[in-house]
Chains A and B, each alone.
Chain A
């Protein structure tokens, strides 16, 4: 019979951002451990507040099933003598297992024959098993940062202060970090009872609710959203959408209530980017906009209380925000008294990286890279001039007070201060956008100039860090290089920027040449592999298949947009029957050539050495189409190029059916290899068809 299992780990306040992953781990791990222990359950339901992590499984088997077990002993060769009688080893094994040697049997395994015994094992009650595995489960949660607080050196994210563990209403007896599991939970720190006894999950949820704890994150989220909507109705304003903040406040409160506060109109003179950041970062408030899209002098705070009937909480929050806005206003006014050119000089004193030098040097490199990109993309003179200007000035905001205080506004403030100096859109907006995209949810720069400047910055970061041996490994990526590489590709793909990325990277390496400690060959070897992994991710997200990506990846690493065009063309033909011959043929050719490989490039085949009609035909097709394939590829008309390649399918099929490549006459044989290599090169000029996996 199934019993209901409920576990609550009562804890001092857990950082909000760590909770979702911890819950996932607990649910997955518990299901997995229970399978190992013959107690299969559905994935348990998980719930949490800042002060508790909760697992609920309604379907816990009451006990393990009785089961047959095989206990393996010594190999037969040791356990039996020549006459087949048991040796001392077998008797010893039997004694240890508590049986007579008569009970032993021969057990055949993959590794050979052993002596052993079959045994019926009685299933244990789930309660006993859980009492053993729960402490281990709880101790194994991989929090990003843990602490210890007791002499037993138990580690957890914050001190564990209470444990509720019941199965079918009965306490599961165990102790962890000095806390004994029981059947009691606890209410809201100020509005609820400190001890609440419960028998089952329904009662648990209800009693907590009565004590001002909404234990379900989904329910808390719904409460917050509903209350935000009613504040919107009251004010006629719209909340500034912020999903990350919403996700966070769900786990910052046990009983969330949304209150509305305001600030003085005069603060609306501070840029909206600053106001929103001040509200969200320090105070976790939602900003609001008026119907015309302008920011309203209003904010929403999610409190951990049932109400604010006296308005005391609102007054407090307003006072704190006012103090922060006074600071921001001070920075906004003060920062604009120093010109960006003056700040550029100060960058000489700000280190980018110890080996790679200061930010003044970095911005000079960015200017050089920007100029190079402007040329590649044939920018108009004003745009080119603007891009180079933007590159020179884009790091100056690092020495403003505003960015020292609100680092996430880097770039954005630079752009705003440049606008305040009266610099044109080609400069200020480019600076404004150049850190984007900061993450998967952040859009790439909108303007072409912003995209190009962002590329120079990310290129310089990647080449610089790889060039001094800072290569990300495993979970270690302190400089966020994976994000930088991903951003590089996202920008190229989003804007359709089709150019030779390798040339840009080479230029970056050249500008850094006196500082790099890694040789260029090694640098680009590591970097190419790293980039390929990021690019694969984007192609996969676009729905391309693994083998298709493999076919184009090597070339696409430095030509991501071109790679995508080739992939799009390949998708159209991969089901076409004729191409199955091309895939097979290219695999065969590569195998043959690999065996015969001696590193040299073969010369062109000699028509006079052809013996068979099929050879001549294949050669004729290659001669006829080589130019057409090359022409179509050069013009990036990839559908057309594949149309030409398709014409090889019959000649190669016939060739492999009728012609023996390994002819006894070495000259004939070599000529056939030359022919195959010629054909293979034509195929390869599009992609590596041998990578395709056929269904």
Chain B
């Protein structure tokens, strides 16, 4: 039976052997693996790309002080981007589950409609949640737009909920009982973090400071764009987004403000997306040339 870190190894191995770049988590807080520059920026423009990585997703409002066996403020996603989306992408995904030792002839598996939308990123796509015996283990999306730009080619995004998959494999009733590694449970590694961050997110986060930070981050992102630096600008855009999530968890955002702030972050994200494509174009879209390694590693 695989533990959490072995699931990660298998997925990395599986997608690496299918010609994906295996990337690392990004070192800025974010609410979903989609916001990682390796997804949000790479899906823009005409260049093909294949990548897989683990991304811890922080959603301050989801914290439950470690009390809820199924909800946590931070969870782990394994994210795959296949650009352009291959014709047999569903089959490839199914094979990746087989690589985790899941025998799908013994289980109730389905793709059920679930379209994805990220208003702060000006992004949306069409797809499904993947249900395994009624448990949502993945999100499967054909991106249609990101940063307000129509995408061409279309990327397929597969997001594995790692805790969910581990829950399924192990048959555990609490996330904290999952085996992280042979001798250490998820709770051993993460429980205290959930307690402290729940306290921080709901009680201690300094609202006045966060409001100031939001303004500063936003200003810095705009300045960096003027300097023609979309990548650092995007870091600040991510910080805006996370700061907004913290304020939201603190209950410091009214409905009207909410719409407004989402609009401000989206404006940044859309401007960054345009600038990024422009930069890649100036570079001559280098990935349009076939990667030298493609032939030797394929299959």
Contact = CB atoms under 8 A, between A and B. Distances in A.
Contacts of B142: 147, 149, 159
Interface string A133-153: 000000000000111111101
Given A147-B142, A151-B153, A351-B256, A316 B115 contact: no
Interface in A315-334: 315-317, 319-323, 326-327, 330
Interface string A235-261: 000000000000000001100000000
B184 to A, nearest CB: 23
Contacts of A313: 106-108, 133
A13 interface: yes
Given A350-B255, A351-B255, A351-B256, A305 B128 contact: no
Interface string A148-168: 111101000011010000000
Given A310-B106, A312-B106, A312-B107, A147 B134 contact: no
A326 B106 contact: no
B112 interface: yes
B286 interface: no
A451 B12 CA distance: 59
Given A148-B154, A283-B134, A304 B110 contact: yes
Contact of A13 (B85, B104, B112): B112
B295 interface: no
A145 B68 contact: no
A190 B108 contact: no
Specify which of A13, A322, A326 lies most central, judged by the most chain B CB atoms within 10 Å of its CB.
A13
Given A145-B115, A149-B142, A321-B134, A316 B85 contact: no
Given A149-B142, A316-B134, A12 B111 contact: yes
B168 interface: yes
A594 to B, nearest CB: 53
A314 to B, nearest CB: 8
A630 interface: no
Given A316-B168, A351-B255, A327 B108 contact: no
Contacts of A310: 106
Given A145-B126, A158-B126, A312-B133, A317 B68 contact: no
B111 A13 contact: yes
A111 to B, nearest CB: 46
Chain A interface residue number, banded: 35 or more
A185 interface: no
A322 B69 CA distance: 11
Given A315-B171, A320-B134, A322-B173, A304 B112 contact: no
B105 interface: yes
A15 interface: yes
Interface string B48-66: 0000000000000000000
Contacts of A283: 134
B203 interface: no
A150 B126 CA distance: 14
A301 B71 CA distance: 24
B67 to A, nearest CB: 8
- Those 5 A-B pairs whose CB atoms lie nearest each other, nearest first: A316-B133, A15-B113, A351-B255, A303-B108, A13-B111
